Chains A and B, each alone.
Chain A
Amino acid sequence: MMPPSSSPPLPPDDLSRRQFLARTGAGVAGLLLGPGVLLESCSPADSATRHIRGGLRGPDHAVGHLLRTPGRLPAPSQELSTDILIVGGGVAGLAARRELARQGHAPLLLELEARPGGNSASGQSAVSAYPWGAHYLPVPDERNHELLAFLRESGVITGFDAASGLPVYNEYHLCHDPEERLLLHGHWQQGLVPEVGVPAADREQMARFFKLVDGLKHARGTDGRDAFAIPLDQSSADPQFRRLDQLTFAAYLDQHGFTSPYLRWYLDYGCRDDYGATAAQVSAWAGLHYFAARKGRAHNATASDVLTWPEGNGFLAEQLRGQGTGTILSHTVACQLRETPQGVEVLAYDATARRTMRIRARQVLLAIPQFVAQHLLSGVAGAPVAAQPLQHAPWLVANLTVTELPQGQGQPLCWDNVGYGGASVGYVNANHQQLAQYADGPKVITLYWPLTDAPPAQARREAYQTTYSEWLPRILAELEYLHPGATPFVQRVEAWVWGHGMVAPTPGYLWGPERAALSRPVRQRIFFAHSDYSGMSIFEEAFYQGLRAAHAMVVPV
């Protein structure tokens, strides 16, 4: 589901979340959110949920907001100098750090949170490790050599088959069977494409759609490149494909007569799952990319197989960290950046030691979301500026510890469990990769919920205003939709709001002029790496952006 980008998001507007809450007060917030929420928060459901422990978590806003008020920083009390400085320890930043290490560099990295990882953040309880964000990597295209080399070094690939040359994946890291199920018409069916009880006309449309994307999977442009590739910069420049970035996926589907509600639900689910946005919000090129770009091959897996770990992509982030060198300063935020004759100077605040440091570097890599980078660069001449803000999707991720899950009819518990027509995009069983003979014990399930009911800015504002006691009944209602009667078995519910969860590939962004311009280095001193510059928040893109930036940095001017 939610693939990674790097560094944690910050609230959007001029008001911080705390300030906003302080000004409005809970009553006003309730009115803003509408009567449904008021009913929920006052409902007698409290007695049924009193046994549930947990709380609301999120990226470190308190530290992050210092970025907005650099004037309030204490005077610098420490001077540091480094050859290369990386701001942001998400996947792009960590991938760049790893690549720079391979070239003999040991950059200094600043990370806002306690641990690097960005959207690949994870947690750990007595029951299981669990993801807070991105949690899987599809079996990659075997032509993606850099990614394969990383996976080989991480033990995810154990070797290459002598006969075919294809990678052999570590069976413990390949998602175990059974992988996916869908609750449709009160019955759990195998797989996520609606099948059981679906009318023949709808099935016919689905078959037509899958035939179409299968054709696109193998399609090549006039330049000989794949029509859809990962990293997406490897895709063909042929206008017959790039044209698809100009309209929404929903409009494209309408034009091609794909009207079946079952098919449209499935495609919308796919867009929400991968981009945090609906088919009406993302471009047709992006919508088709989801299906046509996955063509991984392996000796012991297929293109539809995925790699996953109990802690999700936290595993990969940790591998990236371990394969790099150089100091990582956590709880540290870069607040101000200016150019000097020798390179750049960054003022950073260390929230643990409560002091400001002045860091001088020859080069800096901003591996942070585009809107944060833009803020940091406000005083730098010639820095790229987005004509209008990129669209970032807000997400809610909830980790629920359950002693058991009352199962409905049909397919037993899978790794990915989705309800047809649900508000969330379902949950993943963090204990799925365990090898225990007895699998009925307590488990952690991770519920993913792209907040797509309102436009992103509004949904984000509402999400920031929603308290834990308001989220809890909504989360439990979503659980009850999938497993009626499950509430008494819930022990803990921890929720995390990602205000800027991931960039949405809205029409025109992927192949318009702006995307490339935003990531263009400034005077070979300031570089950019983030999945925002791909337009798709997936591990492969963040990894690619990190590599791309690292290669650009070590090229002599």
Chain B
Amino acid sequence: MGNAAVEAPVAAPPDAPRRGTARQEAQSVLLLGSVFVIATCGLIYELIAGTLASYLLGDSVTQFSTIIGAYLFSMGVGSWLSRYLGGPLLKWFIRLEILVGLVGGFSAPLLFVLFEYVASFRLILYALVGLTGILVGLEIPLLMRILENRFEFKDLVSKVFTVDYIGALLASLIFPLVLVPQLGLMRTALLFGALNVVVAAVALYRFPETRPYRRSFAGLMAAALLALAVTFGYAGRIQRYTETLAFQDQVIYAKSTIYQRIVLTKNQRELRLFLNGNLQFSSRDEYRYHEALVHPAMQALPQARRVLVLGGGDGLAVRELLKYPHLTQIRLVDLDGGMTDLFRQNELLTALNQQSLRNPRVEVINGDAYQWVRQDTTRYDCLIVDFPDPANYSIGKLYSAAFYQELHRLLAPGGKLVVQSTSPYVARQSFWCIAHTLRAAGFHTIPYHCYVPSFGEWGYVLAGENGHWRPDAGPLPPGLRYVTPVTIRQMLDFPPDMAEVPTDINQLNNQALVRYFEEDWGPYAQ
């Protein structure tokens, strides 16, 4: 691999005129400038991969550490591979810059889009990190070989690495302070991809020896820049398309089960759970929601032994139920094993539900609630129905008169049933439709509501065979932060803006509730 012969066009001939030397110096400065830019770009890609991994996969320490390791190792591989590059080195360099620009530039958009659709996302992430690392690792050795005859070795090494590390410093400062807040990850990647292509363009036009292949490369570069620019223009749309960045806080856990997408976010004050992008709870005020869901019914059932919880795979309603020592069996039926496993295993979450799903009194069943209820013959003293809001026809069936009739069959004499019933303020028709449907299924109903800051006004319907119920029927368990006999009494009052409205009954053959829900929440979805 005759280096000297190959690099002859770059090396200055001994009898070159002075003008040639000045020009050579300008070229050297240009090449050192390129080192600076590509060093900045290289670190930016690394930071983007690390940030993306912790955004999308959670656990930032592990993600950052493994991404940096993989990236640096791949750079090593690239440096080692550089020895196999022969022929006109400048041509190689131009090729390489275009490639780095494209791979690095499209890395973030690609990862965001693929995250939703690819089962083995990690594999793709590390493959992309590896590829970028190898390409970036080729850059500096190649440039050093191009510059090798222009400087003495000690100068060369000192200059190249100085500029390289300054570039890294710049990247590490502007990335968190300017780029992420101003441009976001996707646009940042695309912008720096374009910079790599610009480096290639400068090299192409400032070195005379590139003349023979200028035309073919110019087209390629224009196409690359155009692709990067167009994607830059559409970055907002792509970002909206990928829900992941819709979360204002850091994503610490994200998983797509076959049923839904579970995302957990965290900031200094709270932990939030999203299912398919819909907020399920915030650790800051979930106690209000769950205390209001469980205690108004339970305080009136001092003899209760058996409870069935439908939905509520987070174990937070179960946590409240476990405060009643007289309960002997709490059965939870939740569709998604991914959800109940998460709330049995994740330490942040088991701290929140106080290990409720591991309690020996609790039996967790992963199954379809409707199917389960139809075949169940147990009689329960209390039924806690905590399904997602009736936003689609499948879930709407779990709020139907037919379903409530099945629940009626499962209720022990004197037992109570409580249904989370969406917001009576925002979704007034939906709330009262649920109450009326329960009534049509033969229940005596007691609608109530409370204020949960994360959700706003939230509603529940307490139902039983008869109206025997008092807000101060029995002792409440110690340590409640929200529910007292006084708050229960307040929860029963509906001001005029949430007062009862006439509605249809939600039946399987009319799905009235899903239609109300769309009408009620539609204006808020805009």
Q: Which residues of A contact B (CB under 8 A)?
A: 171-172, 174-179, 300-301, 305, 412, 435-439, 441
Contacts and interface: CB of A to CB of B under 8 A. Distances in A.
Contacts of B374: 435
A437 B370 CA distance: 7
B430 to A, nearest CB: 15
Given A300-B507, A438-B259, 8 more contacts: A177-B508, A177-B514, A435-B403, A437-B394, A437-B395, A438-B335, A438-B368, A439-B393
Nearest 4 Cβ contacts at the A-B interface: A177-B511, A435-B370, A171-B402, A174-B509
Contacts of A441: 258
Given A436-B371, A438-B259, A171 B400 contact: yes
16 contacts: A171-B508, A171-B509, A172-B402, A172-B508, A174-B507, A176-B393, A177-B393, A177-B508, A177-B514, A412-B392, A435-B370, A435-B403, A437-B369, A437-B397, A438-B368, A439-B394
Contact of B397 (A175, A179, A435): A435
A301 B511 contact: no
A300 B392 CA distance: 22
Nearest to A305: B509
B466 interface: no
B21 interface: no
Contacts of B172: none
Interface in B385-410: 387, 392-395, 397-398, 400-403
Contacts of B335: 437-438
Give chain A's interface secondary structure class: loop
B394 A436 contact: yes
A176 B511 contact: yes
A436 B370 contact: yes
Contacts, number: 60
A436 B395 CA distance: 8
Nearest to B397: A435
Given A171-B402, A436-B368, A176 B508 contact: yes
A213 B369 CA distance: 43
Contacts of B65: none
Nearest to A436: B368
A151 to B, nearest CB: 16
B158 to A, nearest CB: 58
A438 B338 CA distance: 14
B510 interface: yes
Nearest to B369: A437
Given A171-B400, A435-B370, A437-B370, A301 B509 contact: yes
Nearest to A300: B507
- Place the interface of chain B in its size category: 20 to 34
Nearest to A439: B394
A300 B400 CA distance: 13
B395 A412 contact: no
Contacts of B509: 171, 174-177, 179, 300-301, 305
A438 B510 CA distance: 19
Nearest to A433: B508
Given A171-B400, A171-B402, A438 B507 contact: no
Contacts of B511: 176-178
B392 A176 contact: no
B403 to A, nearest CB: 8
A296 to B, nearest CB: 13
Contact of A171 (B258, B259, B401): B401
Contacts of B393: 176-178, 412, 439
Contacts of B401: 171
Contacts of B392: 412
Contacts of A435: 368, 370-371, 374, 397, 403
Contacts of A179: 509
Contacts of B400: 171
A403 B425 CA distance: 39
A428 to B, nearest CB: 16
A177 B402 CA distance: 13
A437 B260 CA distance: 11
A166 to B, nearest CB: 15
A301 B510 CA distance: 9
A179 B335 CA distance: 25
A179 B369 CA distance: 23
Contact of A177 (B259, B368, B395, B510): B510
Contact of A437 (B398, B510, B514): B398
Contacts of A437: 335, 368-370, 387, 394-395, 397-398
